Chain A
């Protein structure tokens, strides 16, 4: 009978075989105790630190003369000590004895000088410090500056300029691969997906707790969440806050949360009539329910940005500042005073100008469009009609250049170097702000802030710098050239076997000396 050609039994047997075949492979090779596996969202686009700036420093491949601690303090790195003289124009660094590059060559003053000189043209922030000469003198490396530069140590932590061995460079002077001095050396690079590192046995700070480190780039947040839920790595960085519950329910890894120096903010064009008067910016700020946005969208009430600088920047965060808070009545009063009268539709207008605008934002940070929607409803309560345009972040830059931007909703990393002054001096004190930046104020100027930033940059007196910081934070709070909404937290899933992990809010180094694996 033809129906017997394929029996039901043979199908069941076939299906069982396929299932067995699929199950036969072990799920994941258990990593040897001496290997730490790290999953991160950032791809490894290049082996050149001036391009892929913070990846190599964070992985512990490269470092420089100083290091930064998780609390922001500057610590000795390749330099064991330093001194400043010549009224702040001469910075002398005494090199640590016995430090070696990953290729075995010694870290000598000449090698450090050569490394800085080769890379300085590409340095983003260190290049702005006015270095006129770098010299090797005995055990010291000396930087001579055109004029005093107070935060020079922080600028040295510009991650686009680590100390590299001569063997890092090709004949044309470009970086072939980063041969650094950090606790891990690069063994294999599978660009842009992963890096394999091995312990630098001669590391000056003592051998790291792991013989190998495997870094994998997983840009998709949901995929990282799956990896954390399955505990398929030792550290999974940047767990999306929307997925925290899933990782917690899986109970396969614990979560480490730290507020980092990043702020989501609204950038109004202060040249437009709706935002030119500081009272309207204050009114919009008073309309924002930051606690609600932090609790319901960011899932952490502590992220409500009561001021521009988050508490993870203790030198800049001012506990004495009157916090940004929601007060719709006060907002309406301010707008009435400023002459913005409500129309029949509840939206205000003045001199024929409607109190309205479009906010441009982007979905790479999925919370931003949601925050925009919350702002839309909160602004309506004070008579502002907000429309939302979600696209690429570049649309904010392009809009500010062609004058079509009303408001941008974006995210700002405050510590490309550990001192936010680097960001402020570039974005808040120049008439011609870089045309590629979407986080700086638009058509806003404060001479007070310019003076304080200039004083801060040139002063070596900590008391004077403290006063500058306080005044700058005050201007930002009062003038609201940008309106901070929420700070941001870095959420890391940590395997149970990993001990001593501390997330560095400045994102300078991931695997610090204290980290180890449980026996």
Chain B
């Protein structure tokens, strides 16, 4: 097997193991919480006002929540072995369907926000890295620190107040049209760009001061050519790793943004499922998020290998 093949196989096995451990921890933690799970499921189904003991008892029996925990866990593992994540205790829909439904919203918004963040961060970071101490460098530092220290909901509220309420250009919340995606994507992008612009800048500054760059200039290459030929790949490695981490971070959703903009993503689903103790959804989400997180990191590692093939021989160290 090639070194890359070994890395991919090893990482995929690790991903599966991580996902299973994560789902099991979710199961244990939800059941360790004090209080009656059936009561919470019942409330999530019919609402606080219509609660009765009959409804709770019926749900307890029909969902199997009255069985011993070991049996419930074994049943879940048995279903999982056949590729079935089970059904939500609240909505009755298959967990896979729930995750796919919410996942497409989270991934599309996350992808747009992430691309927008790097559309801002790459040029600004490169410019600042090429002109450290310049007005643009100082301004981006100031704005990045400001955005990083602002809670996301404040950024979102500010954007809503300006673009939805005052100017009436964009809808304040929702998910049905492309226009609905603009404000949440920009809110996400500003939060992500605040960190990534500094990472890009630091990578560029570091590479530009490296000995091999000085050597390239002595060799007679102009600054642009030297950076394109020798600097870009080296600067791209930390940026790629960080960008992948940021993208992976978004897989489990961005609860604040989803809540503020009423955007139906995984984060929103997870929070509601946790409050309702919807165990199959929580476990399914744990499994899916853990696996996707590992896959995104694997892709980042493969990209880094492509940028620096020497790492394959060192086993990605």
Using a CB–CB distance below 8 Å, which chain A residues touch chain B?
Answer: 1-3, 5-6, 8, 10-11, 14, 18, 22-23, 25-29, 42, 45-46, 51-53, 124, 160, 191-193, 216, 218-220, 222-223, 226-227, 229-232, 250, 252, 364, 392-395, 397-398, 411, 413, 416, 426, 434-437
B226 to chain A, nearest CB (A): 9
Q: How far is the CA of A10 from the CA of B160 in the complex (A)?
A: 28
Residues of chain A with a CB closer than 8 A to B182's CB: 22, 25
**For residue B53, which residues in chain A have a CB less than 8 angstroms away from its CB?**
434-437
Distance, CA A230 to CA B173, complexed state (A) = 10
Q: Quick check: is B297 within 8 A (CB to CB) of the other chain?
A: no
Beta-carbon contact of A226 and B91 below 8 Å = no
Q: Is A434 a contact partner of B179 (Cβ separation < 8 A)?
A: no
Partner of B49, one of A216, A220, A230, A416: A416
Contact B50 A124 (CB under 8 A): yes
Are the C-beta atoms of B50 and A226 separated by less than 8 Å? Answer: no
Contacts A2-B224, A29-B177, A45-B90; A11 near B136 (Cβ below 8 A): yes
CB of B235 to closest CB in A, whole Å: 13
- Additional pairs, 7, CB under 8 Å, beyond known A23-B169, A220-B260, A226-B160: A28-B170, A124-B55, A193-B175, A226-B172, A229-B172, A392-B275, A434-B51
Q: Would you list which residues of chain B between 144 and 198 have a CB under 8 Å from chain A?
A: 160, 163-165, 167-175, 177-179, 182, 186
Bound: A26/B175 CA distance, A: 14
B111 within 8 A of A: no
Task: Indicate if B223 sits at the interface (CB-CB under 8 A).
Answer: yes
Given known contacts A226-B164, A394-B39, A437 and B127 CB-to-CB distance under 8 angstroms: no
Interface-lining segment among B4-12, B23-31, B116-124: B116-124
A250-B168 Cα distance, complex, nearest whole Å: 11
Q: Are A5 and B223 in contact (CB under 8 A)?
A: yes
- Among B225-276, those with CB < 8 Å from A are 227, 259-262, 264, 275
Q: Please state if A232 and B173 are interface contacts (CB–CB under 8 Å).
A: yes
Contacting pair B259 A8 (CB below 8 A): no
A364 to B46, CA, bound (A): 16
Contact residue among A18, A29, A46, A53 (Cβ-Cβ distance under 8 Å from B92): A46
Q: Would B120 and A18 count as touching, CB distance under 8 A?
A: yes
User: Does A27 contact B179, Cβ atoms closer than 8 Å?
Assistant: yes
CA distance A149 to B50 in the complex (A): 22
Residue numbers in A under 8 Å from B264 (CB-CB)? 193
B262 and A223 contacting across the interface, CB-CB below 8 Å = yes
Q: List 23 A-B contacts (CB under 8 A).
A: A1-B223, A2-B223, A5-B126, A5-B223, A5-B227, A6-B131, A22-B186, A23-B169, A25-B170, A26-B169, A51-B45, A193-B175, A216-B174, A218-B262, A223-B261, A226-B160, A230-B171, A392-B35, A393-B43, A434-B52, A435-B53, A436-B39, A436-B52
How many angstroms from the CA of A222 to the CA of B154 in the assembled complex? 12
Q: Which residue of A lies closest to B179 (CB)?
A: A25
Residue in chain B with minimal CB distance to A246: B165
Which listed residue (A27, A29, A124, A192) contacts B52, Cβ 8 A? Answer: A124
Asked whether any CB of chain A lies closer than 8 Å to the CB of B76, the reply is no
What class of interface size applies to chain B in its complex with A? 35 or more
Q: How far is the CB of A145 from chain B (nearest CB, A)?
A: 21
A397 touches B164 (CB 8 A): no
Q: How many Å lie between the Cα of A443 and that of B259 in the bound state?
A: 41
Look across to chain B and name the residue whose beta carbon is closest to the beta carbon of A410. B48
B208 to chain A: closest residue by CB: A2
Contact of A222 with B260 at beta-carbon distance under 8 Å, contacts A394-B35, A436-B52, A437-B51 already known: yes
Which residue of A1, A25, A45 contacts B178 across the interface (Cβ within 8 Å)? Answer: A25
Do residues A395 and B45 form an inter-chain contact, with CB atoms below 8 A? no
A236 CB → nearest B CB, Å: 11
Q: Is B283 an interface residue (CB 8 A)?
A: no
Task: Provide the residues of chain A in CB contact with B45, threshold 8 Å.
Answer: 45-46, 51
Query: What distance in Å separates the Cβ of A170 from its nearest Cβ neighbour in chain B?
Result: 12
Nearest B residue to A393, CB-CB: B48
Question: Could you tell me the distance between the alpha carbons of A160 and B49 in the complex, rounded to whole angstroms?
Answer: 13
Q: How far is the CB of A224 from chain B (nearest CB, A)?
A: 8
Instruction: Report how far A364 CA is from B40 CA in the complex, Å.
Output: 14
Across the two chains, which residue of chain A brings its CB closest to B174? A216
Question: Closest CB-CB distance, A227 to chain B, in whole Å?
Answer: 5
What CA separation (Å) do A216 and B227 show in the bound complex? 52
Complex interface: chain B residues within 8 A of A394 (CB): 35-36, 39-40, 43
* A26 surroundings in chain B (CB, below 8 A): 169, 179
- B46 engages A53 (CB within 8 Å): yes
A394 to B178 CA separation, bound complex (whole angstroms): 39
- Bound Cα distance from A226 to B158, whole angstroms: 11
* Shortest Cβ gap from B174 to chain A (Å): 7
Chain A residues contacting B262 (CB-CB under 8 Å) are 216, 218-220, 223
Of chain A, the residue at the smallest CB distance from B217 is A2
Contact with A along B70-104 (1 / 0, CB 8 A): 00000000000000000000111100000000000
Distance in angstroms from B82 CB to nearest chain A CB is 23
Given contacts A218-B262, A232-B172, contact A436 B55 (CB under 8 A): yes
